[in-house]
Amino acid sequence: MLSTSEINGKWKEYRLSNKNGISVSVLDYGGIITKLMVPDKNGNLENVVLGFKDYQEYESNPFYFGAIIGRVAGRIQGASFSIEDKAYHLEANNNANHLHGGPKGFHQVIWNVYPFENEDAVGLTLTHTSADGDRGYPGNVDVSVTYTLNNHNQLILDYAASSDQTTPLTLTNHSYFNLSGNAKENITNHYVKMDSSKFAELDHTLIPTGKLIDVTGTPFDFRKYQKIGTGFNSSFEQNSLVGNGYDHYFIFDHASEHQVIVDEPHSGRIMKVKTNQPGMVMYTANNMAEGYVLLEGTTKKYQGVCFETQGLPASLHHPGFPSILLMPGKKYKKQTVFTLNIINE
């Protein structure tokens, strides 16, 4: 089922619902997921993502709640890069670095929206053209992001793009998940299992050094279920330098059907993540400023966790990481599937 409402006289919010009671609400502004309603083991329908109570807050959206991120998700060192010996300079918005596409990135544009509905699924295709020179990036880039909610409780995000010049591009969605429902608890007791044996080491400015660290014997080893809060009180340097938690890029081994599984035992909710991206930033809201009013409660440290499936911008400065360069004539085509299960006791 699909419904639409006007927001603040300038945006539209689309609500997609399946036959099992799950629904997702998406703005044309930033492609922002504002709500994701999922039943718990007792059938209680609750929101499992963080979102602002006052939608005007999305105009600045300092936490990038729920948004499409681009052209490049993550930090670009020194807000600059070179392609074929030509230097490109971007806007610095994270100390000396360029973060999440910069000011007025994809999270702050109004996308064209094309809804669709069939027997088993309902969805939206969002499109946007980023002109040559936009935020300092080369090339005219045509982007589409499709959100599909089906009756198998899968929220599917399909990303597609093309460019007329070689340009860096890696897109993601920046939803903060909290499977306890309505942010009743923080994420400390969420269990995470991840198909990853290496992560990118960060320096004190949160820029990858170019080195990969083996997860064995560290709080980054999620190859078996581990509480996400394990890293919050750890003395391991990589946890402490990001504010006592995680804000790191994990390289997927792609040895399992699902790259991430998240289990919140109290609610009975389990979320499985499957993607063809090479890795993911897991961010545990270590540096979330307090006091912003949400749909449920106010912002606090560790109130949500992002699973930012994407390429790694550090590939622009360090060899050995998968490239994020999109060549003219080539298609960018990525998919991430969030499967929402409920364990009934």
| Active-site residue, 174 included | yes
For residue 247, give both structure tokens: 């804000």
Euclidean distance between CA atoms 263 and 242, whole angstroms? 24
CB 309 within 8 A of CB 322: no
Euclidean distance between CA atoms 122 and 1, whole angstroms? 7
Q: Please give the span between the terminal C-alpha atoms of the chain, in angstroms, as a whole number.
A: 29
CA distances from 311 to 72, 110, 246, 316 (A): 9, 24, 17, 11
Of the candidates 205, 204, 202, 240, the residue with the CA atom closest to the CA atom of residue 219: 240
**Type of residue at 22:** I
| Active-site residue, 117 included | no
Centre a 10 Å sphere on the Cβ of residue 344 and count the other Cβ atoms it contains: 9
The number of C-alpha atoms within 13 Å of 185 and in the hemisphere containing its C-beta is: 11
Which of 13, 46, 264, 308 is catalytic? The answer is 308
Torsion sign over Cα 12, 18, 24, 28: negative
Which of 174, 190, 248, 264 is catalytic? The answer is 174
Catalytic sites, residue numbers: 174, 308
